[in-house]
């Protein structure tokens, strides 16, 4: 047990040193990389390792008679979480989310510190000592708090109220609610029931299963199945339509949505917000194919009033493409990203 | 005829009367769905030859003879939208919400009474049986005043509808005419049953009569539940209309109108939600009484009451997210745009707030249980592991509340390189969130298991093996939940939705198998010491109050979300809202309004509690004597 705790403590110290190094730019921030595709679990695993290591560190320090008081343990752990979120995770997390995480972490620290009476007493002790002010130092601290706290609160209030010239924060709805049906080139499409006419099997019948089978790996669909190459000029049926969709995409869409469909095209960063990233599991993978059909057809200008402003500059493609072309380009988008459209059967 | 026999006869007669009351509205209504207004229309059709107008059901797609008027096309003005110098919708919101709070309370509390009275009847410990009986009686006493308030608030609600939305209410009542009559009759049946149940308590307290009394509570609850189902049919119709054609004309089949796409999930979700809410309110009442108690005996009694109410509430809280998930799935399957408005669109941020409230509920429950372990000798052995449970809960919570649509400045957006964050973006979708909530629930189950074995040491020969098995079972459950959450990213969305089933099954397996195994292991276990009722920290009671407040707030929030998803429709896609308020409120306004409703409810329920205390019944002496930890505690009590 002691050996395990020692290893934990060692890992904790190394981890902390790395984090401090990253904060002060002594250690390159990508020393321990967050690997694409594994980042979410990597972050949780790192935090779990830190928790285990801190337990080991605390155990070792106590064994050596240098135990850190409960109060400071709690404060230090919370500070660690805040610093970890700010300096470890890249690209940076918006402040609003860090504030939410920080609050949850604070509550968690409180729950940990007050889960039993003994710990709670230990945690409260330094606070009570300052309130009681039995020693000179504590008396001084109490006066200092008495003066500093109102100044601090006043400062925060002033900062909150003072007019600013910063850009305002935005809460943009990612998925606008589609209508029940949409009219494109004079024909009405019911979004709940319409189907992509090019999602067909070799017999030419609508077949979602068949088309899904031509995607090798979900989320990494750039890999092609053997004998399922849409760029082959002899490809027929579904694969042929994928190719045709791809041609339309590269003639019209890739300037904004990017060669890899990740929303980072040539013009992408001229827009705010930047175009949708189709490789993200939160975009087309979450939606029915008819939703995309409606979005592509009507563009930014056709978005519903509720939740306005949308700030989407996508043109209404029905003015430039035929219905068939729109369906084909959607087929290509799903094929290329490796996602399947949402269905309810 | 002896006194006892006469009582028996009267009791049986009362029970039969209740059954009669229960069946009366149904019998009365039988001819209605059978013939409805179809018959006269059909007769008329015969007379007029072939001039029968037929319509197609918007949901069931069946053909039916048109027997109702189309939904009115309202215009903004005093005819369709008469108003005070105030937003009518907000007045209706307030009246609706208050009626719902009280309605939920009076639906839940009699169910608690039934459960607690039953526990009292079956327990062999006489002192404990009396305590249970007294507790059930206290509950029903509170619910009696609340019942009157529910009826009053229901009246206010109808008047608000009639005066401010006459065209809409007229249309709704024309469709639901027979249902509304049955509803009113059921309300009469509920009142009659409740009064007989309450006033017959002392007369039927022993032997065979007690069982009759218990049967009455079953009937009372059946009536209450049916009442709620009927009310649900109205909101179900407003969200997902059926039984009418595209113009909103009734097609003669009342069952289609009731049994809409969302009726069943709404029923399940609401009954669980009401029970959890009722438990929370009673627990908060007990917590308040505990904090205000002057004697050790009172503290012990209210500590125990708070625990029972919390346990009942949480028992219904655990399946609640799954029922909610089913409801959302059905909403999505019914209309894509409704699902998107709720989960990814306009109302998505309210779901983040909802996730926060759910997290608070589970965190409060766990915290209470850890505090409750402080009143058991022997539970210290678990204390040092609590930090790991905190970690699991916090991580589950963080994932669960991560927004898919983040609030940020344009500078932050550019630094992030897009709307989705490569790390957190994956937490923002359902697959990860399902993992998060299942981890939270499984951890809550683990806390309960620890609490149940807090002051006990198993004496069965296979105790060591049992402990290892339980540990491995929980570890595998966590691995399975997390693995399925990750795997969910690599499969189509419709299959991913199906993955929630094995996730839920894992969580529920922990709940049922581990509780069962733990109970077997703890049978005849060595007690390290009694549960010292009343010796719990004040913090735990604040956790109970937090639990109740979070329930109330969340109920208000979810009601608002469910209703708002119709956007500018009174009845979705059938009757448009043409009032000046056919827009969705901002998140901030909604939060303020919900908070006001919560505050009003809590102030008014304090008044109800105060009224209840005016006619306080003396607690039997022998029951009081047994309370502070001296009475043997059956395994079921903790």
What is the C-alpha end-to-end distance of chain B, expressed in Å? 45
Strand pairing class (A187-190; A181-184): antiparallel
With CB atoms and an 8 Å threshold, state whether A94 touches B340.
no
Q: Confirm or reject contact between B144 and chain A (CB < 8 A).
A: no
Q: Suggest the residue from B377, B390, B427, B561 to mutate for an interface test with chain A (most A CBs closer than 10 A).
A: B390
Q: Within 10 Å of residue B9's Cβ, how many Cβ atoms?
A: 11
| C-alpha dist (Å) from residue A142 to A127, A128, A138, A341 | 10, 11, 6, 62
With CB atoms and an 8 Å threshold, state whether A43 touches B408.
no
- Of A33-37, A176-180, B303-307, the poorest mean pLDDT is in A33-37
Q: How far is CA A179 from the centre of its chain?
A: 27
Q: Count how many Cα atoms sit within 13 Å of the Cα of residue B542 in the half-sphere of its side chain.
A: 5
SS in 3 state form for B236-290? HHHHCCCCECCCCCECCCHHHHHCCCCHHHHHHHHHHHHHHHHHHHHHHHHHHHH
Chain B residues lying within 8 Å of A105, measured CB to CB: 394
Chains A and B: how many Cβ contacts under 8 Å? 225
User: For chain A, how long is the longest CA-to-CA vector?
Assistant: 90
Residues 106-135 of B with CB under 8 A from A: none
Closest by CA to B269, choosing from B559, B498, B595, B572, is: B559
**Across B314-339, average pLDDT:** 87
CA-to-CA distance for B185 and B200, rounded, in angstroms? 22
- Residue B63 pairs with which residues in a beta bridge? B56
Closest by CA to B350, choosing from B563, B546, B497, is: B563
With CB atoms and an 8 Å threshold, state whether A91 touches B415.
yes
- Residue B456 pairs with which residues in a beta bridge? B527
Residue B259 — very low, low, confident or very high, per pLDDT cuts 50/70/90?
Answer: very high
Task: Decide if B112 contacts B276 (C-beta within 8 A).
Answer: no
Chain B residues lying within 8 Å of A277, measured CB to CB: 418-420
**Across A73-89, average pLDDT:** 92
**Across B297-303, average pLDDT:** 92
With CB atoms and an 8 Å threshold, state whether A286 touches B573.
no
Residues 517-556 of B with CB under 8 A from A: 537, 539
Which residues contact residue B563 at a Cβ distance below 8 angstroms, ignoring those fewer than 6 apart?
B235
Q: Kindly tell me if the per-residue pLDDT of A221 is higher than 70.
A: no
CA-to-CA distance for B362 and A104, rounded, in angstroms? 13
Closest by CA to B149, choosing from B615, B610, B616, is: B610
Chain B residues lying within 8 Å of A287, measured CB to CB: 340
User: Cα angle vertex A136, ends A131, A142, to 5°?
Assistant: 35
CA-to-CA distance for A20 and A26, rounded, in angstroms? 8
Helix (H, G, I), strand (E, B) or coil at A24: coil
Q: Which of B409, B489, B573 is nearest residue A219 as measured by Cβ atoms?
A: B489
Residue with tokens 């321990």: A32
What's the pLDDT tens digit per position in B509-545? 999 999 999 999 998 889 888 889 999 999 999 999 9
Q: Within 10 Å of residue A220's Cβ, how many Cβ atoms?
A: 13
What is the C-alpha end-to-end distance of chain A, expressed in Å? 53
Q: Confirm or reject contact between B614 and chain A (CB < 8 A).
A: no
Task: Decide if B337 contacts A295 (C-beta within 8 A).
Answer: no
With CB atoms and an 8 Å threshold, state whether A167 touches B341.
no
Q: Confirm or reject contact between B421 and chain A (CB < 8 A).
A: yes
Burial class (CB in 10 A: 0-12, 13-18, 19+), A234: exposed
Residue B49 — very low, low, confident or very high, per pLDDT cuts 50/70/90?
Answer: low
Chain B residues lying within 8 Å of A108, measured CB to CB: 390-391, 393-394, 397
Token pair for B513: 């198998």
Q: Suggest the residue from A181, A284, A286 to mutate for an interface test with chain B (most B CBs closer than 10 A).
A: A286
**% of chain B residues with pLDDT over 70:** 90
Q: Kindly tell me if the per-residue pLDDT of B629 is higher than 50.
A: no
* Closest residue in B to A98 (Cα–Cα): B402
Task: Decide if A329 contacts A253 (C-beta within 8 A).
Answer: yes
Q: Kindly tell me if the per-residue pLDDT of B41 is higher than 70.
A: no
* Closest residue in A to B396 (Cα–Cα): A44
Chain A residues lying within 8 Å of B386, measured CB to CB: 112, 115-116
Q: Kindly tell me if the per-residue pLDDT of A256 is higher than 80.
A: yes
Sign, Cα dihedral of B20, B23, B25, B28: negative
> What is the per-residue pLDDT for A159?
92
**Across A275-301, average pLDDT:** 89
Q: Kindly tell me if the per-residue pLDDT of B631 is higher than 80.
A: no
Q: Which position has the higher pLDDT, B463 or B422?
A: B463
Q: Which position has the higher pLDDT, B112 or A151?
A: A151
Q: Suggest the residue from B392, B492, B546 to mutate for an interface test with chain A (most A CBs closer than 10 A).
A: B492
Token pair for B184: 């009113």
Task: Decide if B179 contacts B233 (C-beta within 8 A).
Answer: yes
Q: Between helices B263-292 and B296-317, what is the axis angle to 10°?
A: 160
> What is the per-residue pLDDT for A4?
80
Closest by CA to B143, choosing from B116, B98, B106, B188, is: B106
Interface ipTM > 0.90: no
Smallest Cα distance from B445 to chain A, Å: 17
Residues 566-595 of B with CB under 8 A from A: 567-568, 573, 583-584, 587
Smallest Cα distance from A179 to chain B, Å: 6
DSSP state of A190: E
| C-alpha dist (Å) from residue B293 to A2, B185, B248, B289, B290 | 47, 42, 58, 6, 5
| C-alpha dist (Å) from residue B489 to A194, A217, B432, B484 | 25, 11, 9, 9
CA-to-CA distance for A297 and A280, rounded, in angstroms? 21
> What is the per-residue pLDDT for B622?
45
Average pLDDT for chain A:
87
Chain A residues lying within 8 Å of B573, measured CB to CB: 180
With CB atoms and an 8 Å threshold, state whether A342 touches B492.
yes
Task: Decide if B46 contacts B65 (C-beta within 8 A).
Answer: no
**Across B324-335, average pLDDT:** 88
With CB atoms and an 8 Å threshold, state whether A176 touches B340.
yes
Q: Which of A104, A192, A264 is nearest residue B398 as measured by Cβ atoms?
A: A104
Q: Kindly tell me if the per-residue pLDDT of A74 is higher than 80.
A: yes
> What is the per-residue pLDDT for B628?
41
Q: Which of B390, B406, B427 is nearest residue A108 as measured by Cβ atoms?
A: B390
Residue with tokens 């639990």: B547
Strand pairing class (B63-65; A181-184): unpaired
> What is the per-residue pLDDT for B636?
39
CA-to-CA distance for B431 and B493, rounded, in angstroms? 9
- Residue A200 pairs with which residues in a beta bridge? A206
Rg (chain B; Cα; Å): 27
Helix (H, G, I), strand (E, B) or coil at A322: coil
- Count Cβ neighbours within 10 Å for each residue of B237-255 and write b for 16 or more, e otherwise: bbbbbbbbbeebbbbbbbe
Helical ranges in A165-219 per DSSP H: 208-213
Q: Confirm or reject contact between B397 and chain A (CB < 8 A).
A: yes
Q: Which position has the higher pLDDT, B141 or B353?
A: B353
**Across B224-246, average pLDDT:** 95
Q: Which position has the higher pLDDT, A267 or B425?
A: A267
DSSP state of B576: E
Q: Which of B406, B489, B494 is nearest residue A94 as measured by Cβ atoms?
A: B406
**Across B139-159, average pLDDT:** 89
With CB atoms and an 8 Å threshold, state whether A277 touches B418.
yes
With CB atoms and an 8 Å threshold, state whether B410 touches A272.
yes
At residue B569, φ and ψ (nearest 5 deg) are -115, 140
With CB atoms and an 8 Å threshold, state whether B420 touches A166.
no
CA-to-CA distance for A297 and B158, rounded, in angstroms? 45
Burial class (CB in 10 A: 0-12, 13-18, 19+), A149: exposed
Burial class (CB in 10 A: 0-12, 13-18, 19+), A219: middle
CA-to-CA distance for B75 and B86, rounded, in angstroms? 18
With CB atoms and an 8 Å threshold, state whether B492 touches A340.
yes
With CB atoms and an 8 Å threshold, state whether B429 touches A282.
yes
Residue B554 — very low, low, confident or very high, per pLDDT cuts 50/70/90?
Answer: very high
> What is the per-residue pLDDT for A230?
84
With CB atoms and an 8 Å threshold, state whether B415 touches A343.
no
Sign, Cα dihedral of B304, B305, B306, B311: positive
| C-alpha dist (Å) from residue B194 to A110, B143, B224 | 44, 10, 10
Q: Kindly tell me if the per-residue pLDDT of B62 is higher than 70.
A: yes
User: Cα angle vertex A116, ends A114, A117, to 5°?
Assistant: 90
Task: Decide if B87 contacts B589 (C-beta within 8 A).
Answer: no
| C-alpha dist (Å) from residue B296 to B292, B308, B629 | 11, 18, 11
With CB atoms and an 8 Å threshold, state whether A180 touches B337.
yes
Closest by CA to A314, choosing from A257, A247, A250, is: A257
With CB atoms and an 8 Å threshold, state whether A280 touches B424.
no
SS in 3 state form for B606-620? HHHHHHHHHCCCCCC
Q: Kindly tell me if the per-residue pLDDT of A48 is higher than 50.
A: yes
Helix (H, G, I), strand (E, B) or coil at A28: coil
- Of A233-237, B331-335, B491-495, the poorest mean pLDDT is in B491-495
Q: Which of A41, A116, A174 is nearest residue B486 as measured by Cβ atoms?
A: A41
Q: Confirm or reject contact between B490 and chain A (CB < 8 A).
A: yes
- Of A340-344, B104-108, B527-531, the poorest mean pLDDT is in A340-344
- Of A14-28, A105-119, A124-138, the poorest mean pLDDT is in A14-28
> What is the per-residue pLDDT for A248?
96
Token pair for A264: 């980072």
At residue A344, φ and ψ (nearest 5 deg) are -125, 20
Q: Which of A39, A89, A96 is nearest residue B408 as measured by Cβ atoms?
A: A96
CA-to-CA distance for A203 and B344, rounded, in angstroms? 37
Chain B residues lying within 8 Å of A110, measured CB to CB: none
With CB atoms and an 8 Å threshold, state whether A344 touches B337.
no
Task: Decide if A245 contacts A199 (C-beta within 8 A).
Answer: no
Closest by CA to B281, choosing from B256, B254, B306, B263, is: B306
- Of A173-182, B120-129, B309-318, the poorest mean pLDDT is in A173-182
Closest by CA to B283, choosing from B481, B531, B551, is: B551
Q: Suggest the residue from B333, B338, B381, B387 to mutate for an interface test with chain A (most A CBs closer than 10 A).
A: B387
Q: Confirm or reject contact between B408 and chain A (CB < 8 A).
A: yes
Task: Decide if A260 contacts A278 (C-beta within 8 A).
Answer: no
DSSP for B109-163 reads HHHHHHHHHHHHHH-S-HHHHHHHHHHHHHHHHHHHHHHHHHHHHHHHHHHHHHH
Average pLDDT for chain B:
86
**Across B401-429, average pLDDT:** 82
Q: How far is CA B626 from the centre of its chain?
A: 33
Q: Which of B391, B399, B405 is nearest residue A172 as measured by Cβ atoms?
A: B405
Residue with tokens 């309004």: B593
What's the pLDDT tens digit per position in B162-195? 999 999 999 999 999 989 999 998 888 898 899 8
């Amino acid at each position: 047990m002691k050996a395990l705790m020692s290893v934990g403590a060692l890992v904790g110290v190394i981890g902390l040193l790395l984090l401090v190094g990253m904060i002060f730019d002594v250690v390159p921030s990508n020393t321990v990389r967050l690997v694409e595709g594994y980042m979410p679990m990597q972050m949780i695993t790192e935090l779990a390792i830190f928790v285990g290591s801190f337990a080991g560190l605390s155990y070792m320090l106590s064994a050596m008679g240098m135990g850190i008081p409960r109060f400071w343990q709690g404060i230090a752990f919370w500070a660690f979480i805040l610093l970890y979120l700010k300096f470890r995770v890249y690209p940076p997390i918006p402040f609003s989310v860090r504030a939410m995480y920080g609050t949850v972490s604070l509550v968690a620290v409180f729950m940990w510190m007050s889960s039993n009476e003994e710990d709670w007493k230990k945690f409260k002790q330094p606070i009570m000592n300052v309130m009681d002010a039995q020693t000179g130092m504590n008396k001084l601290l109490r006066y200092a708090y008495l003066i500093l706290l109102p100044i601090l609160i006043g400062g925060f209030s002033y900062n909150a109220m003072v007019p600013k010239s910063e850009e305002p924060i935005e809460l943009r709805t990612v998925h606008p609610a589609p209508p029940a049906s949409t009219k494109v080139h004079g024909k009405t499409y019911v979004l709940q029931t319409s189907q992509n006419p090019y999602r067909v099997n070799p017999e030419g019948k609508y077949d979602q299963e068949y088309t899904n089978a031509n995607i090798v790996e979900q989320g990494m669909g750039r890999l092609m199945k053997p004998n399922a190459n849409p760029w082959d000029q002899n490809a027929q049926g579904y694969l042929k339509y994928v190719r045709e969709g791809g041609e339309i995409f590269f003639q019209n869409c890739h300037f904004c949505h990017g060669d890899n469909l990740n929303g980072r095209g040539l013009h992408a960063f001229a827009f705010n917000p930047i175009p949708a990233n189709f490789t993200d599991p939160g975009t087309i993978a979450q939606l029915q194919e008819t939703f995309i059909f409606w979005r592509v057809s009507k563009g930014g200008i056709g978005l519903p009033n509720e939740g306005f402003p949308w700030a989407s500059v996508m043109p209404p493609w029905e003015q430039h493409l035929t219905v068939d072309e729109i369906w084909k380009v959607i087929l290509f988008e799903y094929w290329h990203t490796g996602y399947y459209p949402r269905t309810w059967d | 005829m002896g006194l006892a026999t006469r009582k028996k006869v009267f009791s049986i007669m009362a029970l039969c009367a209740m059954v009669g009351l229960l069946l009366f509205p149904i019998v009365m209504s039988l001819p209605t769905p059978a013939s409805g207004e179809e018959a006269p229309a059909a007769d008329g059709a015969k007379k007029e030859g072939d001039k029968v107008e037929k319509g197609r059901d918007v949901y069931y797609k069946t053909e039916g003879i048109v027997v109702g008027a189309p939904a009115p096309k309202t215009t903004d003005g005093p005819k369709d939208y008469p108003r005070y110098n105030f937003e009518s919708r907000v007045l209706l919101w307030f009246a609706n919400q208050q009626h719902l709070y009280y309605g939920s309370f009076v639906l839940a509390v009699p169910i608690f009474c039934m459960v607690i009275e039953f526990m009292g009847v079956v327990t062999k410990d006489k002192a404990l049986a009396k305590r249970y009986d007294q507790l059930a009686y206290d509950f029903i006493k509170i619910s009696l005043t609340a019942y009157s308030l529910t009826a009053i608030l229901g009246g206010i609600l109808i008047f608000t509808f009639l005066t401010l939305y006459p065209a809409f209410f007229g249309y709704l009542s024309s469709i639901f005419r027979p249902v509304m009559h049955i509803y009113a009759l059921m309300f009469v049946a509920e009142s009659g049953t409740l009064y007989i149940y309450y006033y017959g308590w002392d007369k039927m307290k022993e032997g065979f009569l007690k069982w009759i009394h218990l049967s009455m509570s079953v009937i009372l609850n059946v009536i209450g539940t049916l009442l709620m189902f009927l009310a649900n049919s109205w909101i179900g119709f407003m969200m997902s209309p059926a039984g009418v054609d595209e113009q909103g004309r009734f097609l003669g089949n009342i069952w289609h109108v009731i049994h809409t796409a969302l009726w069943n999930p709404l029923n399940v979700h609401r009954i669980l939600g009401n029970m959890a809410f009722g438990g929370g309110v009673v627990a908060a009442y007990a917590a308040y009484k505990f904090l205000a108690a002057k004697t050790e005996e009172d503290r012990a009694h209210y500590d125990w009451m708070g625990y029972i109410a919390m346990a009942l509430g949480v028992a219904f809280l655990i399946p609640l997210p799954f029922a909610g998930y089913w409801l959302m799935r059905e909403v999505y399957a019914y209309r894509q745009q409704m699902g998107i408005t709720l989960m990814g669109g306009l109302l998505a941020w309210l779901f983040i707030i909802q996730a926060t409230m759910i997290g608070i509920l589970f965190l409060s429950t766990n915290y209470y249980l850890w505090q409750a372990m402080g009143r058991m000798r022997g539970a210290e052995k678990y204390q040092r592991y609590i930090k790991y449970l905190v970690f699991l809960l916090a991580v589950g919570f963080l994932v669960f509340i991560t927004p898919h649509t983040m609030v940020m400045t344009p500078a932050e957006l550019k630094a992030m390189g897009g709307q989705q964050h490569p790390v957190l973006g994956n937490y923002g979708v359902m697959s990860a969130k399902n993992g998060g909530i299942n981890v939270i629930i499984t951890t809550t189950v683990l806390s309960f298991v620890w609490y149940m074995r807090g002051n006990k040491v198993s004496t069965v020969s296979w105790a060591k093996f049992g402990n290892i098995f339980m540990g491995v079972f929980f570890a595998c459950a966590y691995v399975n939940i997390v693995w399925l959450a990750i795997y969910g990213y690599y499969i189509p969305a419709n299959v991913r939705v199906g993955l929630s089933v094995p996730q839920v099954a894992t969580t529920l397996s922990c709940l049922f198998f581990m509780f069962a195994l733990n109970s077997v292991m703890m049978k005849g276990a060595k007690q390290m010491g009694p549960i010292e009722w009343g010796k719990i920290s004040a913090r735990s009671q604040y956790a109970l109050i937090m639990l109740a407040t979070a329930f109330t707030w969340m109920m208000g929030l979810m009601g608002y979300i469910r209703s708002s998803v119709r956007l500018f429709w009174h009845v979705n896609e059938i009757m448009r809202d043409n009032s000046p308020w056919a827009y969705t409120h901002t998140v901030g306004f909604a939060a303020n309004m919900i908070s006001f409703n919560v505050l009003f409810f809590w102030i008014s329920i304090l008044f109800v509690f105060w009224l209840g205390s005016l006619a306080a019944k003396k607690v039997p002496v022998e029951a009081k004597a047994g309370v502070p930890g001296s009475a043997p505690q059956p395994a079921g009590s903790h």
